[in-house]
A = this chain, B = another copy of it.
């Protein structure tokens, strides 16, 4: 039925970032509401950030609109314009192709939660603002490279021990 049974939709950790970059989002847990509800045209995720957690590396999307609504707690939205406090009810939107890299950071000592929506598109390119990395997504999955398309190297993504 349309009303979702939230108790049956787990919050999952994990990251698609390569190598040691995956550590960046260790404090992020995602509940995939849209997928659970059978939606295919856009994703809707509830995201919980533990203290110190990041929503992502700072990035922007070329093809996909993105929208966030703060649900609980306090986060700092960091983008090219600076830092912006986000509390319950606050909203932000990032139209596809606008090159303003952004992420949300939890600097408090309690978890914080936001809802995020992102279009599903057959292909996508996103750029990372603070490191020389981009990601392309298509039917073959994610491909992370430098912004010129060359491979990432050990100094960028070497394992946890380097």
Contact = CB atoms under 8 A, between A and B. Distances in A.
Interface of A: 1-4, 6, 33-34, 36-42, 44, 64-65, 67, 69, 71, 77, 79, 81, 84, 86, 89-96, 98, 100, 102, 115, 117, 119
Contacts of A102: 2
Number of copies: 2
Q: Find the residue from A2, A67, A96 having the highest chain B CB count within 10 A.
A: A2
B92 A65 contact: no
Contacts of A81: 1-2
A86 B4 CA distance: 10
Contacts of A41: 42, 64-65, 96, 119
B86 A3 contact: yes
Given A1-B100, A3-B77, A3-B92, 19 more contacts: A4-B90, A4-B91, A6-B91, A33-B91, A33-B93, A36-B93, A37-B95, A39-B67, A40-B95, A41-B42, A41-B64, A41-B65, A41-B96, A42-B42, A42-B65, A44-B67, A44-B91, A44-B117, A117-B117
Given A89-B71, A91-B33, A2 B42 contact: no
B91 A65 contact: no
A27 B34 CA distance: 28
B91 A3 contact: yes
A43 B6 CA distance: 24
